[in-house]
Structure 1
């Protein structure tokens, strides 16, 4: 026990001695890790700025400068042989004396009517669209004001292409309805319907400088339509409720899918852009865009 105590005392003494020696070397500067005082921050030097006052310019120079600023530069003249044709679908900006307007779309060409006369899918979609374009092109320029509006018709066309029945479902402008009816009455002879049967459909004609009809998308016309929804509790409360089930729609045509795909045309850039814009307006708010 006495030896252990002596060893412990000797260890403590040596530790204290070594710490004291290290502190002494650091203070005297003979130890690499000596304590160094923090240097003083450099003091900013005083800078002297010399200002030289120049005499004012002569009055003649001032007068010429003011005259050059007040005189506007001559406008660039456009070459007389360059003419920019106005767009047939873009609206024209309004001025103080003329409201906003949009020219009527171009009349469907013979090639477009030939395609419409042989396209049978989706209740002759091409024929219905081309018929609406023909009517709108004959209605003339649409101006902003009380005469602009929309009219929706229920149309029945005979197999030979003649008008069999025209019924107005609703309209927001008597002028638009009158112009549309006058255009329909004066339409040139139309080709026969694609299916050889009466073509019955509903069509909305927009007579407005802010709305233009765009070509449809054809790439999905060979797919089956989703089941048609029906109110399962329809009846108006006049009798016991009868549950109506959703019905499956039939195939677009009786022929095969390969033959159906042969009818599909190449969708135009205008149709693709209009379709994308419609989808963005429909689903954009849900996606936070």
Structure 2
């Protein structure tokens, strides 16, 4: 057993001798205890300054006027829309004899007269809409005015002031009280609302009626009979068509805009979509 372990012992002894020799040669370099030199300090100079006394303005001196702030280049001027012209004497003459569709021409001229007296609409929080329920007496005077809803108190106030100072209006076309609802749009982006009259002699389209409606008290029953539709024939149709005025470019353009705003383009069928 001793003969077999001799080579291993010899290798261990040689390894220890080699490590000792390396430590002996590199020891002074690796384990030097040389002190480090301190860093030189830079002197700091401190200067004491006295506060500058403020000048007291004399009592007779006037304060300088503030300079107006410069408008940022990115800020845009708000949009405006001038008031439309008031209905002319010819417009009121036509409205005074037009009896179709609950005196359609009279109702339109009444709203146009109010909007023309409200002045220029400026883009901002003051613009808006107001809807009234109006009753006009047979002699053309205002009998009742009720606000149904409003999106701007400024628009409602301007509309009421215009209604209070409206000029005398002609009598109603039917000689009876005229009751209707009207929305006054006071906005910088309002479109022309000139109506079309060409379809006023056509039969009324029956409104949808729910056949299953029930008030909760009476006997349940189903109403499948549509309301009767009055169709003008013969002399009645001819007399009706005599009241229809000639169409104008403004009425056609206003009608096209209303259709586009409601249904969008023909290609996409979505409002606001490009062609």
TM interval, shorter chain, is 0.5 to 0.7
Distance (Å, rounded) in 1 between the aligned partners of 2:144 and 2:75: 43
The 5-angstrom pairing of residues 124-273 of structure 1 reads 124-235=103-214, 241-244=220-223, 245-251=225-231, 256-273=236-253
Gaps of 5+ in 2: 1-73, 270-275
- 8 A Cα contact 1:136 1:207, kept in partner: yes
Distance (Å, rounded) in 1 between the aligned partners of 2:233 and 2:186: 34
Computing the radius of gyration from Cα coordinates, the structure with the larger value is 2
> 1:286 offset after TM fit, Å?
6.7
Post-superposition CA distance 1:9-54 (Å, at most 9, x none)? xxxxxxxxxxxxxxxxxxxxxxxxxxxxxxxxxxxxxxxxxxxxxx
Name the count of aligned residue pairs: 195
> 1:242 offset after TM fit, Å?
4.1
Residues 1:242 and 1:165: Cα distance change in structure 2 (over 3 Å): farther
Distance (Å, rounded) in 1 between the aligned partners of 2:188 and 2:233: 38
> 1:255 offset after TM fit, Å?
5.9
Distance (Å, rounded) in 2 between the aligned partners of 1:179 and 1:251: 42
> 1:176 offset after TM fit, Å?
0.8
Alignment RMSD (CA, Å): 2.4
Between stretches 210-219 and 249-258, larger displacement belongs to 249-258
> 1:214 offset after TM fit, Å?
2.1
Gaps of 5+ in 1: 1-94
> 1:270 offset after TM fit, Å?
1.1
- 8 A Cα contact 1:228 1:248, kept in partner: no
Match in the other structure for 1:108:
87
Secondary structure of 1:166's match? Answer: strand
- 8 A Cα contact 2:95 2:106, kept in partner: yes
Residues 1:198 and 1:250: Cα distance change in structure 2 (over 3 Å): farther
Query: TM-score of the superposition, structure 2-length normalised?
Result: 0.65
